[in-house]
Structure 1
């Protein structure tokens, strides 16, 4: 196609093309397709705030890609690189699972204060998130804040009373 245009209109063929029409935001959100992910985890269509950026859907998709890259680094055992990817993802889209994933990395890297902060952020987004409660309790145990760790595990056990890992951690916290 480029060759035909080049022969017909010369080297300036691009300048003769009509401008690309802009697609209204309302149409973009109507046509957005939920990304393939975990069952039931469809992303709601994003709309730009008045005076906001049209990049919200693109940002959400980029955040998802960065999170997946972080997940791959975790599988390879490279937690420092995973933290970088999760951090980039969170700048574009605050998501509970990304916070809990980064908290796991911080636990592995023995950065317990950072793990507590990420779990707290995850719990701000989802107050009953089991992973956030469990990982924060793990970090609090390492920081020797046993009372707060026990409180988190008790909250977790209200949601999942038979969670064996949580029951084990509760015993450890009570012994400490």
Structure 2
């Protein structure tokens, strides 16, 4: 005989979700706890399901201001499914509330490696960077724990979730990102962004492209209205063979400045590497309309045409 819905893991989780939506966080936490015990009693459970239950219970703790238990549950969720965005964001919020800024910074940064458009992580990094500058001084970056490198598999898993089962999330996420972009930075933020961009440029000259990307990332958190910062970061992505990221950055650069020749050229290079020759030729054509005698663009046009033929 099948168990009643409320006695199944799925039923308890659904009831917990409803209690959470109703603002009954202690009740929701108790329901997630029952679901966890039931799942663990089965033996070889589903790590994904168990991770979600820990993450959901962490959200209840966070709402109730119990940051210590929130951190514990998020850490358990991440042990089961590493690099999951929700537990990383919830743990970052809890660390931030406890003023453990270096640990919050690491979690927010990790989220942005998985998806650099998560508005809450962008805003979190912005807040934490200022707090760290104030508390640790100009050398604050040297005093941080190491930031884990996110494997491509985790990024792919998130991308498939965003484009598949979570269309509404993706839609609201893009709306949040648009709102973030529409904010006008202060004069101080613009100056900080310029200094960080220049530091990134110096790292590029020395061949330190990964470190340069970090500088450009930080620059864009202070002000994301500079087209050159995106096209410079695109160059680093090209060198590191991260062609899709290069395309994204060039597109951002061109939205800010439709005559950014470097952005057209670098996006054409990225499209060529991705074997999207038609898009590559379209960008070269746009570039040559702005600078008809651009030698590198003419040579790239010949190479792409040869690949097409």
Residue 120 (structure 1) shift: 0.2
Residue 58 (structure 1) shift: 1.1
**Which of 56, 61, 65 is matched with 2:191 structurally?**
61
User: Structure 1 stretches (4+) deviating beyond 3 angstroms?
Assistant: none
Cα distance in 2 between the residues matched to 1:129 and 1:58: 25
Residue 82 (structure 1) shift: 0.1
Which residue in the other structure is 1:43 paired with? Answer: none
Which residue in the other structure is 1:117 paired with? Answer: 248
Which residue in the other structure is 1:28 paired with? Answer: none
**Which of 194, 200, 210 is matched with 1:70 structurally?**
200
Residue 167 (structure 1) shift: 0.2
Residue pairs, 1:15-164, within 5 angstroms: 56-94=186-224, 95-164=226-295
Cα distance in 2 between the residues matched to 1:157 and 1:57: 35
Cα distance in 2 between the residues matched to 1:174 and 1:137: 12
Q: Deviations over 1:28-62 (max 9, x none)?
A: xxxxxxxxxxxxxxxxxxxxxxxx89x71111111
- Is there any run of 5+ residues in structure 1 with no aligned partner, and where? 1-51
TM-score (norm 2): 0.39
Q: Which has the higher contact order (CA 8 A, sep 6+)?
A: 1
Cα distance in 1 between the residues matched to 2:188 and 2:289: 38
Cα distance in 2 between the residues matched to 1:121 and 1:163: 22
Cα distance in 1 between the residues matched to 2:211 and 2:191: 20
Residue 128 (structure 1) shift: 1.7
Cα distance in 1 between the residues matched to 2:192 and 2:257: 22
Q: How many residues align?
A: 124
Residue 132 (structure 1) shift: 0.4
- Is there any run of 5+ residues in structure 2 with no aligned partner, and where? 1-182
Residue 117 (structure 1) shift: 0.2
* Greater helix content: 2
Cα distance in 1 between the residues matched to 2:206 and 2:254: 27
3-state SS, counterpart of residue 162 of structure 1: coil
Cα distance in 2 between the residues matched to 1:91 and 1:172: 37
